[in-house]
Amino acid sequence: MDWGLRNRLNRIIRPETGRAVMLALDHGYFLGPISRLERPGATIEPLLPHADALMLTRGVLRNCVSPATATPMVLRVSGGRSILAGEDLSDEGLATSLEDALRLNACAVALSIYVGSRHERETILNLSRLVDEGTRLGLPVLAVTAVGKELEKRDARYLALACRIAAEFGAHFVKTYFCDDFQKVSGSCPVPVVIAGGPKLETEMDVFRMARAAIDQGAVGVDMGRNIWQNPHPVAMIRAVRAVVHEGASPDDALLLFEHVKRSAE
Ligand code: 5RP
């Protein structure tokens, strides 16, 4: 890996712990203004100091994030379908150029691959092209193993296959879902893996347990969205998730910290 690419990756996956707490806010690229992302700037502002990186689109970055921030940005560059386009969300192309990613001082770029879908081939070839160009420019590529609406695909057999394919085609790191037997996913993927949070879970404890189990089973961190900013206490939430990811906190300790931060803000 060239120095620039490694340096950018080190700004996201922190060398002090080898871990990362990324905050995902890119949902609007196919879902529009979902709950708590109606005004992205207001959601982002209090969370920014607590995230190792934000994952977002160029529109939200340009319009809703202060350029004075030192927080690294992971720019989503794939897209092209919306939730209104029917069942098949897999028809994504490369929608943002790497020239624009560099202009925005992105630390990495992200795209989704849809393994096993109608557009599997195109999305995997898009990944390959993005890795060629990203490597040339020193920009790491995050491959997201998207499942669209087929949530039943989130098992270890499918996710291990999808993550491995992402790594085989050169992704520098991979984002996937947590699942039972997660060590099968992380253990067969030769590049770092972060987990998405998925739809909001019932309790905070569920989120802390998932993050703890993911880290214990080989994830380097989280790239979490709804379970942080759809919580009524998003700062308490991200701080507790950070404690799990970076400090080895147990779910019980994370809940104590969550309650403490929540109370101090009231
Ligand atoms: C969509 C994405 C989202 O960023 C991802 O799902 C993370 O957010 P959440 O924790 O809300 O699931 O990549 O393809």
C-alpha 55 – ligand 1 centre gap (Å): 9
C-alpha 177 – ligand 1 centre gap (Å): 9
CATH number at residue 58: 3.20.20.70
* Nearest atom in ligand 1 to 223's CA: 7
Residue with CA nearest ligand 1 atom 12: 198
**Structure confidence by residue, pLDDT tens digits, 6-62:** 999 999 999 999 999 999 999 999 999 999 999 999 999 999 999 999 999 999 999
What's the pLDDT at 129? 98
Q: Which of 144, 193, 201 to mutate to test the pocket of ligand 1 (most atoms within 8 A of CB)?
A: 144
Residue segments in the chain with a per-residue pLDDT below the cut of 70: 151
Residue with CA nearest ligand 1 atom 8: 225
Pocket of ligand 1 (CB under 6 A): 24, 26-27, 55, 112, 144, 146, 196-198, 223-227
DSSP secondary structure string for all residues of 112-162: EE-TTSTTHHHHHHHHHHHHHHHHHHT--EEEEE--TT-GGG-SHHHHHHH
What's the pLDDT at 1? 78
Q: Is residue 266 a part of any domain in this protein?
A: no
Q: How far apart are CA 128 and CA 111, in angstroms?
A: 11
Q: Is residue 170 a part of any domain in this protein?
A: yes
Range of the domain at 102: 3-200
Number of structural domains in the chain: 1
Residue 63 CB coordination number (10 Å): 10
C-alpha 210 – ligand 1 centre gap (Å): 15
What's the pLDDT at 86? 75
Q: Is residue 206 a part of any domain in this protein?
A: no
Burial class (CB in 10 A: 0-12, 13-18, 19+), 78: buried
The answer to whether 131 and 170 have CB atoms below 8 angstroms apart is yes
Q: Is residue 181 a part of any domain in this protein?
A: yes
Q: Is residue 190 a part of any domain in this protein?
A: yes
C-alpha 264 – ligand 1 centre gap (Å): 29
Q: Is residue 142 a part of any domain in this protein?
A: yes
What are the strands, taking DSSP E only, across the chain?
A: 20-24, 53-56, 73-76, 78-79, 93-94, 108-113, 141-145, 173-176, 193-195, 221-224
* Nearest atom in ligand 1 to 26's CA: 4
3 state DSSP class of 197: coil
Q: How far apart are CA 54 and CA 144, in angstroms?
A: 15
Q: How far apart are CA 66 and CA 251, in angstroms?
A: 33
Q: Is residue 115 a part of any domain in this protein?
A: yes
Catalytic residues: 175
Q: Is residue 117 a part of any domain in this protein?
A: yes
What's the pLDDT at 189? 98
Q: From 191, 167, 248, 221, select the one nearest 14 (Cα to Cα).
A: 221
* Nearest atom in ligand 1 to 25's CA: 4
Q: Which of 21, 26, 147, 231 to mutate to test the pocket of ligand 1 (most atoms within 8 A of CB)?
A: 26
The answer to whether 19 and 221 have CB atoms below 8 angstroms apart is yes
What's the pLDDT at 199? 94
* Nearest atom in ligand 1 to 222's CA: 10
Cα within 13 Å of Cα(159), Cβ side: 27
165's CB contacts (< 8 A; 6+ apart) are 113, 115, 124
What's the pLDDT at 255? 98
Residue with CA nearest ligand 1 atom 14: 146
Q: How far apart are CA 178 and CA 167, in angstroms?
A: 17
The answer to whether 239 and 47 have CB atoms below 8 angstroms apart is no
C-alpha 148 – ligand 1 centre gap (Å): 11
Structure tokens at 160: 């291990």
What is the four-CA torsion angle of 2, 183, 163, 92, rounded to 10 degrees? -120
User: Is the pTM of the predicted complex or chain greater than 0.95?
Assistant: yes
Q: From 40, 42, 45, 10, select the one nearest 28 (Cα to Cα).
A: 40
